[in-house]
């Protein structure tokens, strides 16, 4: 398995962990090498093995610590690299001090780059969501304002209905004014966030992280 595929595997494992639904551990036929590799690929602490071991011992199932350690070392070898640090930072994994000093410096430097990229990606996504929501709300209030004005001008409407319609006109007109003022600012924020993300990715073009930043 190539390093890039290993890191992609680690990202999938990280997303599963973040979702709060860890995979069930079938102790009787557990692949201890694979379990160790999964933990190593996300830089999990050795406490993960103890947790698995306790569960399986409670079920009177065999525990292959030798295979787990072998898999963990293989996974950790891919994790404790600059590429692994970048991916871990981008996936917002918590660093558990799993890497040995010779590899840790490069890992942590890349980890910060990955975290910076994630922050910029989130900022751009949030800005886009806020801008698009404002435009949707603006269209909705403009439509409602037209309906309310038609109700005010309805010659067959009773007095209480006209009063309610005028209140709706005031409300929707106020929202239209507010959103008309907010939309350009939200658009500017989106453009700024997109530009910052694009500039950061451009800086990565000549680096080893280029393919990981896609």
Q: Would residue 208 count as lying in a domain?
A: no
Structure token pair of residue 184: 């350009």
Q: Would residue 164 count as lying in a domain?
A: yes
Which residues have C-beta within 8 Å of that of residue 42, sequence separation ≥ 6? 10, 13, 14, 17, 75, 79, 88, 93
Question: Does residue 39 sit in the same domain as residue 52?
Answer: yes
Q: CA quadruple 63, 66, 67, 72: dihedral positive or negative?
A: positive
pLDDT digit string, tens, across residues 17-68: 443 333 445 677 888 899 899 999 999 887 888 888 888 877 677 788 899 9
Question: Does residue 185 sit in the same domain as residue 103?
Answer: no
pLDDT digit string, tens, across residues 134-184: 999 999 999 999 999 999 999 887 888 999 999 999 999 999 999 999 999
Which is more confidently placed, 73 or 25? 73
Question: How far apart are alpha carbons 51 and 72 in whole angstroms?
Answer: 15
Which residues have C-beta within 8 Å of that of residue 207, sequence separation ≥ 6? none
Band of residue 16 on the pLDDT scale cut at 50, 70, 90? very low
The answer on pLDDT for 200 being more than 70 is: yes
User: Among 70, 85, 116, which residue terminates a domain?
Assistant: 116
pLDDT at 6: 54
Q: In terms of residue numbers, what domain contains 140?
A: 117-203
pLDDT at 211: 74
**What's the number of domains the chain is made of?**
2
SS percent in the chain: helix, strand, coil, step 5: 75, 0, 25
Question: Does residue 20 sit in the same domain as residue 84?
Answer: yes
pLDDT digit string, tens, across residues 90-125: 999 999 999 999 899 999 999 999 999 999 999 999
CA torsion 91-96-99-100 (nearest 10°) is 160
Q: pTM score, two decimals?
A: 0.75
Q: Tell me which H or E stretch contains 180.
A: helix 159-203
Question: Does residue 52 sit in the same domain as residue 78?
Answer: yes
Question: How far apart are alpha carbons 190 and 126 in whole angstroms?
Answer: 8
Question: How far apart are alpha carbons 151 and 169 in whole angstroms?
Answer: 9
Question: Does residue 146 sit in the same domain as residue 85?
Answer: no
Which residues have C-beta within 8 Å of that of residue 87, sequence separation ≥ 6? 7, 10, 11, 114, 212
User: Among 116, 135, 163, which residue terminates a domain?
Assistant: 116
Question: Does residue 79 sit in the same domain as residue 105?
Answer: yes
User: Among 99, 116, 133, which residue terminates a domain?
Assistant: 116
Cα-to-chain-centroid distance, residue 52: 27
If one counts every other C-beta atom within 10 angstroms of the C-beta of residue 189, the result is: 17
**Mean pLDDT, range 70-98, rounded to an integer:** 93
Q: Would residue 212 count as lying in a domain?
A: no
């Amino acid at each position: 398995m190539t390093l890039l595929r290993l890191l992609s595997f680690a990202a999938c494992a990280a997303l599963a962990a973040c979702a709060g639904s860890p995979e069930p551990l079938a102790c009787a036929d557990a692949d201890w090498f694979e379990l160790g590799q999964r933990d190593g690929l996300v830089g999990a602490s050795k406490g993960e093995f103890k947790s698995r071991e306790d569960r399986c011992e409670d079920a009177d199932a065999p525990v292959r610590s030798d295979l787990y350690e072998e898999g963990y070392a293989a996974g950790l070898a891919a994790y404790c690299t600059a590429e692994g640090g970048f991916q871990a930072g981008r996936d917002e994994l918590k660093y558990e001090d799993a890497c040995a000093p010779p590899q840790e410096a490069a890992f942590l430097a890349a980890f910060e780059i990955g975290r910076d990229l994630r922050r910029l990606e989130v900022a751009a996504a949030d800005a886009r969501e806020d801008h698009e929501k404002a435009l949707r709300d603006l269209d909705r209030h403009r439509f409602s304002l037209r309906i309310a004005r038609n109700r005010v001008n309805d010659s067959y409407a009773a007095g209480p209905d006209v009063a309610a319609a005028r209140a709706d006109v005031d409300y929707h007109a106020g929202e239209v004014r507010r959103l008309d003022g907010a939309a350009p600012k939200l658009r500017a924020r989106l453009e700024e966030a997109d530009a910052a993300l694009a500039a950061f990715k451009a800086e990565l073009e000549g680096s080893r992280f280029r393919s990981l930043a896609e």
